[in-house]
Structure 1
Amino acid sequence: MINAKTILSLLLIFIPISVAATFQGWGSTVIFVTSALAIIPLAGWMGTATEEIAVVLGPNLGGLMNATFGNATELIIGIVALKAGLIDVVKASITGSIIGNLLLVMGLAMFLGGLRFKEQEFPSVVARLNASAMNLAVIAILVPTAVDVTSAGIEEITMQRLSAAVAIVLIGVYILTLLFSMKTHTYLYEVGLAENEPEGAAEGEEQSEPHEVNLWLWVGVLLVATITVAVESELLVDSLEEATESLGLTALFTGVILVPIIGNAAEHATAVTVAMKNKMDLSVSVAVGSSLQIALFVAPVLVLAGWLLGQPMDLDFNPFELIAVAVAVLIANSVSSDGRSDWLEGALLLAAYAVLGLAFFFHPVVEGLA
């Protein structure tokens, strides 16, 4: 039977194909598509390697490593795009990742899980805490844009300094959330951890001994996968503008919809798979946790990286992107606040994502008409 791991392994064939397409001059569209497909399994292997290394490091260091490398693929793509000067694509990918995780991933998980199980539950306390953190993140990325819109004219360097200061605050909040979840209030997250136990354990079956982790093997896998993701990201970014133009797509739609799906595909598959096994608490943790990592860690790091690379990266977003993020956070918080889900709530999240996706697709046309 073909499973997700088999599909991811088969997609590795696109690594040599994308390299061949670059050297043989097969065109930007072919390079863009093949490099995008190559990044998907590499992100999966990075996630697997991180989890295996985390087992050896223990719950505290392991949890910290998982939190740090959880969105490494998006961070690598973002830094490569920053170096290429594609600031708008980087900003769009940040908002797109938040929207995609809250609406597409959680929506698919609740919808498909709800088709198999009439009602699924997850800790409402954790959901409310995550909702509060996401509200803070939205406010933080809204403020620089509001300052720009309400001022007579703010200098670029001033906006960068404001964004860098806000980024430092967000990273501080991210560190506090890690301290909260891994040190002072770990009991709130024990249900999600319990769901990782072998299925036979709940039925009283004899558990097999924990498998031994070859630490250096997985360190090597993580290193090779990271380097390969960086190479494929270069190919993706170099071909992005020409390829998307030939496909009739805009930088805004590409950044908000395509890039986040490419970087998060493996994680998306995990969230949906565990939801269909009636482990909705773990699924929600993956979806919402990834959004928080993007808002509180990846976005601030990219702002600071832009400062170091001499690129004008800041938190002054397209106002429509902020509206879309606020809508995503609002409906996701509304759906998850009661600690239960069903297929209709999943359908509502997917519908919201479809509406926003269509809006981003047609946004330049509407703007041009205006």
Structure 2
Amino acid sequence: MKTKDLIPLLLLVFVPVSAAADFLQWGSTAVFITSALAIAPLSIWLSTATEKIAIFTGPSIGGLVNALFGNATELVIALVALRAGLIDIVQASITGTILSDLLVLMGLAMFSGGLRYKEQEFKPILTRVNGSSITLAVIAIALPTLVISTSGRFDVVDIPDISIATATVLMVVYGLTLLFSLKTHSYLYDVGLADEDLMDSPDGFHEGLTQNSKTTKLAIWIGVLLLSTITVAFESDLFVSVVEPETERLGLTPLFTGVILIPFVTDIASFVTVTRLAIKNQMDLTIATATGDSLLIALFVAPVLVFVGQFIGQPLDLNFNPFEVAALAIAVSVTNLISSGGRSNWLDGALLLATYLLLGVAFYYHPA
């Protein structure tokens, strides 16, 4: 077994450890640390299962599976936190995950790949199409905040209505992006996902497998996907139950917790994936992963949380902190500027990571 597969397997030991910490009442700090360490490998297995299922089911169904489960860890944690009434943290985590996808994922990819290759190329169409979509998404997310902040007589009761209307438009746009990428213009997104995974597959998957073998392996990975999702939900419940008192003890605001801390825990799988692909010079797939993840959060996860919040009596609106809106605008602008040429090097990655670091410092000192 390769090291990259062995480490996530060994880290699964924190699943029973976190359960023991909660059951035996070892304290909130122990639960906080062990549940966070358990979520990291679970997110890797969930992401791996999603990719493997996509290989077996083909590009159309596989792309849909990726679209629905690509950010399952983030969605599960957000839903658990929303049910617990941690609306400020959930709202901030939407911003934080988009920032992490655009700046950290793409920054890590360009930096790590640039250390091995002097310059790397990728399809500019990927960044143009996805860049336009994420720009629209950020504008839509920012509009409720702008309307409220620029209207001195705005009625507070209208905030949920604006948020629901915005969420509806975003979900329609997401449906259109799926239609575009999976059906009408799927050739633009042919970035070799299956070929890359097949060559690197540790389970010996080859074209010569019998249909029964393929069906068995598909069933195994579906089982891994379901089991990982259920276990992530369990660990998320433990993590969320102690995140508020622990972050308060550490002197962290809900804004910083949602924007920086939670995305760091949930994006471990993506960090590993984009770095591995960039080192193998698979930049088309890397860019598609980073921009696709940000689109999934902005166009699907955020609207889902708005609708679910209304349904369970924990209303989540899109009236973000103005600084969050400014940070999203900065991230989209810098990312589009750096990636528009279809070429990257280690300095481009360093600039993206530096932008995230500067924003992280600002969020740490922000009093909200």
Bin of the TM-score, shorter chain as denominator length: over 0.9
Structure 1 residues 199, 233: CA separation in 2 closer, same or farther (over 3 Å shift)?
closer
Partner of 2:227: 224
Separation in structure 1 between the aligned mates of residue 135 and residue 207 of structure 2, nearest angstrom: 43
- Residues 280-319 of structure 1 correspond to what in structure 2 (within 5 A)? 280-319=283-322
Instruction: Note the C-alpha offset of 1:153.
Output: 4.5
CA distance in structure 2 between the aligned counterparts of 1:199 and 1:228, rounded to whole angstroms: 29
| Alpha-carbon separation, structure 2, partners of 1:309 and 1:346 | 41
How far apart are the structure 2 equivalents of 1:156 and 1:305? 20
Q: TM-score, normalised by structure 1?
A: 0.93
Return the letter of the residue paired with 1:253.
F
- Which is further off, 245-254 or 119-128? 245-254
Structure 2 residue corresponding to 1:244, chosen from 229, 237, 247: 247
Unaligned 5+ segments in structure 2 are 201-205
- How many angstroms apart in 1 are the aligned matches of 2:99 and 2:134? 11
What's the CA shift string for 1:42-85, capped at 9, x where partnerless? 11111222223333333212211111111111111111111111
In the aligned structure 2, how far is the partner of 1:119 from the partner of 1:49? 31
2:276 to 269, 273, 277: 273
Within a 5 Å distance, the mapping from 1:1-370 to structure 2 comes to 3-193=3-193, 196=196, 209=208, 212-214=214-216, 215-364=218-367
Unaligned runs of 5+ in 1: 201-206
- Structure 2 Cα separation of the partners of residues 222 and 195 of structure 1: 21
* Separation (CA, whole Å) in 1 of partners of 2:308 and 2:187: 35
Structure 1 segments (4+ residues) deviating >6 Å: none
User: 1:156 touches 1:312 (CA, 8 Å); kept in 2?
Assistant: no
Which residue identity lines up with residue 317 of structure 2 in the other structure?
Answer: D
Counterpart contact for 2:128–2:340, Cα < 8 Å: yes
Question: Residue 101 of structure 2 contacts residue 293 of structure 2 at CA under 8 Å; is this kept in 1?
Answer: yes
Deviation per CA, 1:273-332, whole angstroms, max 9, x where unpaired? 100111111111111110010001100110111111111201000111111111011000
Q: Would you say the 8 A contact 2:133–2:295 is kept in 1?
A: yes
Contact 1:99 1:328 in 2 (8 A): yes
The CA deviation at 1:219 is 2.2
Structure 2: distance between partners of 1:198 and 1:20 = 38
In structure 2, how many angstroms separate the alpha carbons of the residues matched to 1:195 and 1:107? Answer: 24
* Aligned-residue offset at 1:91: 0.9
In the alignment, the residues of structure 1 paired with residue 255 and residue 112 of structure 2 have an alpha-carbon distance, to the nearest angstrom, of 29
> Structure 1 pair 154/85, CA: closer, same or farther in 2 (3 Å)?
farther
| Closer/same/farther in 2, CA of residues 314 and 269 from structure 1, 3 Å limit | same
1:192, CA displacement in angstroms?
Answer: 4.2
Partners of 1:29 and 1:242 within 8 A in 2: no
Q: Secondary structure of the equivalent of 1:196?
A: helix
Q: Cα distance, 1:220 vs. partner? A: 2.0
> Which deviates the most, 6-15 or 188-197?
188-197
